[in-house]
Homo-oligomer: A and B are copies of this chain.
Amino acid sequence: MCELNAFVVGPGKEELFLESVDIIRPEDGSVYLRSLFGEEKRFEGRIKEIQAIKRKILLECPK
């Protein structure tokens, strides 16, 4: 399986936002995420970087 874990990046830390993410869809000023298990969350901010090998989605708040 290839699910990813989403983290919110803050100053010097990463906070788990959603585990086992399947779908990531940038929308206007936010990011929609859906997990393998159908859990849906919306992050008010943007994708900073995705690291597939580390299975990480890094999210950041707008500056």
Q: Which residues of A contact B (CB under 8 A)?
A: 1-4, 21-26, 36, 46-53, 55
**CB proximity of A6 to chain B, nearest CB, Å:** 10
**CB proximity of A34 to chain B, nearest CB, Å:** 10
Neighbouring B residues of A49 by C-beta, 8 Å: 23-25
Interface of A is mostly: strand
User: How many copies, total?
Assistant: 2
The one of B2, B26, B52 in contact with A26, judged by C-beta atoms closer than 8 angstroms, is B26
CA gap between A24 and B55 in the complex, in Å = 12
CA gap between A36 and B53 in the complex, in Å = 8
CA gap between A22 and B55 in the complex, in Å = 9
Tell whether, in the assembled complex, residue B53 and residue A50 are in contact, meaning their CB atoms are under 8 Å apart: no
